[in-house]
C-alpha cells in the first residue's frame, strides 16, 4: 500500500514537470555544447596534419553533433577548416628549494584558418589556453591523469572558441 502511494506521487511529479519541459523547449532553448554553425555550412572538411590530437577529436565530435557532414576530401565540402598548428605541452611554473618542480602549466596552442568556396573567409587565427596544476611525486598516476584531463578540457574550450569565431562569419 505504501509503495503504491509513493508511485502515485512520483507519477504526479512527472506530469507536473512535463509542461515546464515543453515550455523550455518551445522558447528556443538549446543544450549547452551544441554548436550554432552558420546555415551556409553544411559540409565541412578539416585539413589537419595530426588527426589523433585531442583538439581534432573534439572538433570532429562537435561537427557531428551539430548535424553537419564531415567530408573526407575538400572537393565535397563547402567549408574547409585548416589546422595550421596543434601543439600541447607542459612547463614548470614553480620549483621547490631542492629544485624539484611543484607546479606545472599545461598549454594548448591552435592556429587555424577557414575557407568557404575556395576563398579564405577567416585569416589565420591563433588561440592559446593554459591551466595550472600542482605536482606531487607521491601521486604520479593521479597527477598524470589530471594533466591529461586538463589537456582534453583545454582542447574542448579551444573548439568552443573556434566555433564561436566561425559562427560570427557572415
Domain limits, the chain: 1-30, 35-167
Name the pTM for this structure. 0.75
Give residue-wise pLDDT tens across range 76-109: 999 999 999 999 999 999 988 888 888 989 999 9
Kindly give the pairing relationship between strand 101-116 and strand 79-95.
Answer: antiparallel
Strands (E), 36-138: 43-48, 69-70, 79-95, 101-116, 119-134
pLDDT recorded at residue 133: 87
* Matching CATH number, 35-167, of 3.40.50.720, 3.30.160.150, 3.40.50.980, 3.30.360.10: 3.30.160.150
Q: What is the CA radius of gyration of the chain?
A: 22
Grid cell digits, residue 22: 515543453
Which span out of 3-12, 41-50, 130-139 was modeled with the highest average pLDDT?
Answer: 41-50
Give residue-wise pLDDT tens across range 103-155: 989 999 999 999 998 889 999 999 999 999 887 777 777 888 889 999 999 99
Amino acid at each position: 500500500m505504501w509503495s503504491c502511494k509513493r508511485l502515485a506521487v512520483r507519477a504526479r511529479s512527472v506530469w507536473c514537470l512535463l509542461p515546464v519541459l515543453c515550455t523550455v523547449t518551445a522558447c528556443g532553448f538549446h543544450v549547452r555544447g551544441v554548436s550554432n554553425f552558420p546555415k551556409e555550412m553544411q559540409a565541412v572538411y578539416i585539413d589537419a596534419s595530426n588527426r589523433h590530437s585531442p583538439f581534432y577529436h573534439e572538433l570532429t565530435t562537435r561537427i557531428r553533433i551539430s548535424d553537419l557532414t564531415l567530408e573526407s576530401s575538400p572537393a565535397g565540402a563547402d567549408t574547409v577548416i585548416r589546422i595550421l598548428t596543434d601543439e600541447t605541452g607542459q612547463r614548470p611554473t614553480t620549483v621547490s628549494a631542492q629544485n624539484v618542480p611543484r607546479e606545472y602549466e599545461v598549454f594548448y596552442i591552435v592556429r587555424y584558418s577557414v575557407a568557404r568556396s575556395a576563398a579564405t573567409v577567416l585569416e589565420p587565427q591563433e588561440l592559446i589556453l593554459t591551466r595550472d596544476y600542482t605536482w606531487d611525486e607521491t601521486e604520479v598516476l593521479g597527477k598524470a591523469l589530471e594533466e591529461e584531463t586538463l589537456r582534453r578540457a583545454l582542447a574542448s574550450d579551444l573548439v568552443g572558441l573556434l566555433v564561436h569565431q566561425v559562427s560570427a562569419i557572415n
